[in-house]
Structure 1
């Protein structure tokens, strides 16, 4: 998580903001990254054109890079923007290597890019390789001497890239090791097919104000001035045919990365992509801006057809009208008008007012494009965020004052929850400093996902566990003692002395297990059954020492009417919490009506599988309805069970009698426990992980597992002193490689300086 989300140096500015000002901080960081993108691109263009490109055009094209479609589409996902502003520096480092300029810019820029965000760092490294070949072909003449020089440059390029990776090793190597242990540690070879993702001509169709990318097409919109310059470059008389052909071929390669699945797969770092399209389109836009800059260098020398730009703008306009003839929206018309007017202003004789007006129109065009994109992609509301944050912090602090022991907390409705209960914000435990069982990262711990999935909390695409409908027995096993909830749940006790914040009261799960306890024999490890209720019966029976079967089946009758299915349940007598689970064969984008008390999104992205059914004491029946929004129902199975709270109480009481205190420090846990007989185990509510180093009486031990991945440690008879220390895998190795890389780059800098 640190390597992917938090390593941007701009994040250090957070120390100047209060927690309830994080929305303002987020917007500031976003603007700073856009500004840095403009600065680095402006600097790159000035250097690669040897200052032949005027200051005005350098700044304009830099602004185009900052306000391009990609950056606006990442308005709520700014972690990738570090790669955007680092790319021009990497490309400049490649350029210096090609022209023989002695510099350490390439390894330093590559290292920083990987450190700031390894994902876009990887994309930048791939594109740097292509860019090296592009510039090498542009600069190399067909002679034996030049070919030998080119071969040497290839070796220098590889060494420089390797040095860059070495500089980042302190964070990159631990990140790679963590990914290797994560839920998405396999490459998605199944998507490697010799196909095209969409029509390449959609590049033209989507090059409009407010254009958007999706799974089948890409928008490279970065302003009319970029489009005009990139196309007009190929009509310049003073540019050699070799340069035009090389540039065109490289452009085709860039287009292939956007549309040809094998190339797209490589630039997606060998993973399937399901969102935030297109994740690397900024490299294509950088290429367009580079080509446009080459044109404007020559254009300012008046070596272009007088009305050529107007002609290009006219062809573009006709193409857009034809492609959008069935849906000629305002943004298409605005794009045409901006393009024609800017082309006209660039064609008329050079005067201060025309240049100034052209600059104003370019910025205006980019801002007009930015408005709908930011409105669509960015959903920050600083005022509501601040209010939510203040109340949530009060609720957590109040709970900690009420109970200062060690326990876990979950909730039913984090910030951003939609009306149907669907939400993706599961990191509030980190935000408000409480121990949660839910989180969202791009590559979750496989062990953690398996544990929660077997306990009824469904995982979504190996990234996230849907935890918003409390399963009391599952929470009890995991040490979840408190739940922030907007509604009451049978079996949970509302703590009236604690306040209600963000419409959520604090409820206690009085059946919660301790985080460590002694048990006789080893409990069930793997699920072995599709039903979480059947599995939990076996698991809790083992923990209790005899069959107690917490869950009992609930009879039901079902009736189907088109896209709707209705279940009428016959309820048992006693103290119960009622649950259902409908297994769907494919997403139905359904609505689940739960006993006329709630309508929740179901059989869709981020919906739960096991759901709680609210009932009242004395109810004899309950109803559940599922309405599919697709044609027909796709239900593979269904089950309804009642959790016997009296039986859960018996299991909880037995386990809590064998509770073991745990002493927590920053990176370790210490446990002292006495075992009075053979075959006793210490059960821990913590997932097994390679990063744990565990010693019992000074001896290193490897833990066993129960409940699909929670740690269980065999005990020796007598006193057992356990220490569990969490260590980042290969962190020391990474630091050592980084130090060697820094020394090597320092030596290279010294040699270069002496050479000069």
Structure 2
């Protein structure tokens, strides 16, 4: 029996390395009543608006064999490969096929739990492969659990695609250790390749860390008093081996990297801001609070210090490592240097920006703290090998406890008692302590207790299996408490309501798609007011077209095409930031121009469908001047007037200014805004529009005739056209809105669209519309008549380099209209149009990947022919 136990000891160790994080996550989700153990789910933040929807669509595409390079459900249409590469490449995501679409939030719970648990397993494997003692000692579980349930994980656990880097990083370093010791690269190549493929963003950071970790291990090979140049010459083959293996792993992933890179270059992420490359520090002494429990919670997710905490025992062992006289000076120097480099990569703004793929992170800061955490856990494990409980003097042992407690206390005082801003100190008296401050005090006291208990078990008692079990239990409880504190304040979604609303809404959308009006592939604007009860945050339906598979307009994604977003913004649609474009902000013209056929209003009681009477399809014939229309970002109404005058020239304006009868500018409200009450008279019959050209209006305060008229999506002081209703000519309207401007000025524009004149124009455009005959996931075909005047075809499909066009079976050059849409040249008479999409860089990427794999086969043959001696 003992022999059996010994032969299976490592397997049991790996099993418990998986089981401990698994149990912690299950207990936490049960306490917070997360599905399947309650009615809460993870539909908050980006999980509710992006990841849940992308995974639901992935499930649909897999089960219906509908994977493609292009999707008309991504906004107005977009390349799918950047979205797949950034969000969906983890093989663990395939779990979604075992769940129904309405139960994907439950799948999310299991995906998070599984990834975190597997990271404990891979960390245990890494530590067991090191050349140090205790390879099969149960104490390894302390470090594997500390890594898997660290504060970094607690801060980003719901950012699913980053957890694969957590899982694969220990394997990358295990591969590097094997490469360094035995000159074999299989584990390193496979794990680095997997890290890049599953999420190239964290994969890029993993590549940077691999260089640092290799240099750390390489420095350990240098003999004492050996000249540096002699050392480099001796290890030249190893260095070349590392460089080639790394480059070949990157090359082999080009089939997904190259299309993703080209896709991301078309987003706003390609723009560089030089202010992000300053040498200023990114955080101050307040971040020392991260050395204890409860440093972060949901409210601080967008702005906090680097989440470095992996348990008090880890920190105690790191401090003991540098006090320990048994540790060689060389080991201390190279470990301290590596920790310092990783720290500076977070602390110095320039380095931090480079690590974040040359972009300042928009929320969830210091994503590279993962790599500091990993190395800190590894350094703590190495400290254990030198038996600090024997090697340290009593004063050194006391200092091991005092130093982290002092640093943590300074951080707490700096962050929560002293408010330091722009060099100013403001003391918060304890008499004003609120409930959150009491939580902070309790967290502080618990941190002290855990530090003292961990210190006592490590340095005052003789090591044994019982002590190891107590330390593992202590660390597990500590990290579970810390994780729970990080979850505090999270606005979890309602699973029962989500499932019910999803099924109801899917049925309504399905009924619409089967309707006789929808066989022309027209777009739909869905105004949903009943799905909100499934969320505890404002849900703006950005990606509902992808979720329910209808052709829409809006999109919320890090892969949103910049030109498409800006084009829609110039037409008056709302864009809160570079990752979002909303369906709100449309007019009668944009509905027709973009092929919006239906507007569906959904509420709890019924659904109202409005058919666009001026819908003419996906495109129309236009003249040469249409290509040269100069549209301004700040003049959406003027832009629309230009477009209408080009499509159907008229002596009178289509959009007519209203008559302002009375303007009353009131004093500031509680938000410091100025309230304006305007009495106006319409000058023609039609829809009334309001547009704040200087983006000063707070549309949440908008009222028409004393009735609230706020848009479905909060404009957050961004420009958008707001439709105020339909009115007859000479009708008096009372408007009230708050702006940042003290006086009502020309920047606040009120116009009425002349419906009769507009309908006449649309009738002319309808006669020269594009007749769509066939549409697939990657192509469309149709016919249109070209005239001597209108010798171009405008299509409401975003311009992307992946499109290839033929007119009358001859290739033609695709041009860009309205800054971001497809325009094709036409011949006089009938034109047969064929458009096909191929993701840019896909073929080249596969070719480069093939070259990379062939090169690695050559490396494997070399390793076999020249084994390490």
* TM-score between both structures, scaled by the size of structure 2: 0.79
Cα distance per residue 1:326-375 (max 9 Å; x no partner): 35522122111112112222332234443323222211111111113234
1:242 maps to 330
Tell me if the contact between 2:586 and 2:721 (Cα under 8 Å) persists in the aligned partners.
Answer: no
Over aligned residue pairs, what C-alpha RMSD do you find?
A: 3.0
Aligned equivalent of 1:405? 520
- In the alignment, does 2:820 pair up with 1:709? yes
Describe the shift of the 1:73–1:355 C-alpha distance in structure 2 as closer, same or farther (beyond 3 A): same
Of 210, 222, 229, 2:294 maps to 210
Q: C-alpha displacement at 1:427, in angstroms?
A: 1.4
What is the TM-score normalised by the length of structure 1?
0.90
1:582 aligned to which of 682, 692, 703: 692
| CA deviation vs aligned residue, 1:439-491 (integer Å, no higher than 9, x gap) | 122142122112201110133332211333543322221011222335xxxxx
> Please, which of 292, 314, 321 is the counterpart of residue 380 of structure 2?
292
Q: Closer, same or farther in 2 for the Cα pair 1:677/1:636, shift >3 Å? A: closer
- The secondary structure found in structure 1 opposite 2:268 is coil
Residue aligned with 1:669, SS: strand
Match of 1:173 in 2: 258
Larger RCO, structure (CA 8 Å, separation 6 or more): 2
Residue matched to 1:530: 634
What is the rounded CA distance, in whole Å, between the counterparts of 2:173 and 2:311 in structure 1? Answer: 22
In 2: Cα distance, 1:676 partner to 1:660 partner: 13
Are the counterparts in 1 of residues 576 and 715 from structure 2 also a CA contact under 8 Å? Answer: no
In the alignment, which of 320, 338, 342 is matched to residue 232 of structure 1?
320
Residues 27-66 of structure 1: matches in 2 within 5 Å? 27-50=109-132, 52-66=134-148
Question: Are 1:338 and 2:450 counterparts?
Answer: yes
Residue 593, structure 1, aligned to residue 670, structure 2:
no
Corresponding position: 1:561 with 2:667: yes
- Residue matched to 2:433: none
The answer to whether the 8 A contact 1:75-1:378 is kept is no
* Residues 22-421 of structure 1: pairs in structure 2 closer than 5 A: 22-50=104-132, 52-141=134-223, 142-143=226-227, 145-199=230-284, 201-212=285-296, 215=303, 217-299=305-387, 302-305=390-393, 311-325=399-413, 326=417, 329-347=441-459, 348-376=461-489, 379-402=492-515, 403-413=518-528
Compared with structure 1, are the counterparts of its residues 244 and 474 closer, same or farther at alpha carbon in structure 2 (3 Å cutoff)? same
* Residue 510 in structure 1 maps to residue 616 in structure 2: no
Deviations 1:119-173 (A, max 9, x none): 0011111111111222212222224543213333322221111111111010001
| Residue of 568, 574, 582 corresponding to 1:452 | 568
Distance 1:449 1:258 in 2: 32
- Range with greater deviation from structure 2 (441-450 or 672-681): 672-681
Cα distance in 2 for partners of 1:501, 1:601 equals 16
Return closer, same or farther for 1:590/1:579 CA change in 2, 3 Å cut-off: closer
Task: Name the stretch that deviates more: 154-163 or 678-687.
Answer: 678-687
Mapped to 1, the partners of 2:834 and 2:712 lie a distance apart of: 44
CA positional deviation for 1:292: 0.5
1:517·1:682 contact (CA, 8 Å) conserved in 2?
yes
Distance 2:775 2:330 in 1: 67
Q: 462-471 vs 155-164, which deviates more?
A: 462-471
Per the alignment, do residues 463 and 206 of structure 1 end up closer, same or farther by CA in structure 2, a change over 3 Å counting? same
Distance change >3 Å, CA 425–CA 353, structure 1 → 2? farther
Q: How does 1:712-723 map to 2 (within 5 A)?
A: 712-723=823-834
Mark the CA change 1:606 to 1:528 in structure 2 (over 3 Å): closer, same or farther.
Answer: closer
Residue pair 1:268, 1:279 contacting (<8 A) in 2 also: yes
Moved more, 548-557 or 450-459: 548-557
Partner of 1:638: 748
Of 567, 573, 596, which aligns to 1:480? 596
Please tell me whether the aligned partners of residues 571 and 621 of structure 1 are also in contact (alpha carbons under 8 angstroms). yes
Question: How far apart are residue 594 of structure 1 and its match?
Answer: 2.6
**How much has 1:216 moved relative to structure 2?**
6.2
Q: Which shifted more, 178-187 or 415-424?
A: 415-424
The 1:466/1:370 distance shift into structure 2, 3 A limit, reads same
Task: Indicate the residue corresponding to 1:471 in structure 2.
Answer: 587
Structure 1: distance between partners of 2:134 and 2:698 = 57
Decide whether the 8 Å contact of 1:76 with 1:378 is kept in 2.
no
Q: Tell me by how many angstroms 1:614 deviates.
A: 4.3
Match of 1:21 in 2: 103
Q: After alignment, is 685-694 or 525-534 more displaced?
A: 525-534
Q: Which stretch of structure 1 is more off in the superposition, 115-124 or 100-109?
A: 100-109
Instruction: Return closer, same or farther for 1:417/1:49 CA change in 2, 3 Å cut-off.
Output: farther
Distance 1:40 1:225, change over 3 A: same
* Aligned partners of 2:799 and 2:816 also within 8 Å: yes
Decide whether aligned partners of structure 1 residues 600 and 522 sit closer, same or farther in structure 2, where only a CA change above 3 A counts: closer
| CA deviation string 1:204-254 (max 9, x = no partner) | 222221223765622211111211112111122221111102211221111
- In the alignment, which of 600, 607, 626 is matched to residue 738 of structure 2? 626
1:438 aligns with 2:554: yes
Q: Does the 8 A contact of 2:770 with 2:784 survive in 1?
A: yes
Would the aligned equivalents of 2:681 and 2:732 in 1 still touch at CA under 8 Å? yes
**Farther-moved stretch of structure 1 (156-165 vs 468-477):** 468-477
Partner of 2:29: none
- 1:38-83 per-residue CA deviation (whole Å, 9 max, x = no partner) reads 1111111121244534532222211111111222221332111111
**SS of residue matched to 2:292:** coil
* Aligned match of 2:75: none
Deviation at 1:24, TM superposition (A): 0.7
Counterpart Cα distance in 2 of 1:574 and 1:121: 59
Match for residue 492 of structure 1?
Answer: none
Structure 1 residue runs without a partner (length 5+):
487-499
Q: Distance in 2 between matches of 1:239 and 1:351?
A: 22
Bigger Cα displacement from structure 2, 224-233 vs 744-753:
744-753
Please tell me whether the aligned partners of residues 656 and 683 of structure 2 are also in contact (alpha carbons under 8 angstroms).
no
Aligned-pair CA distance for 1:564: 2.3
Q: Shift in Å at residue 378 of structure 1?
A: 7.1
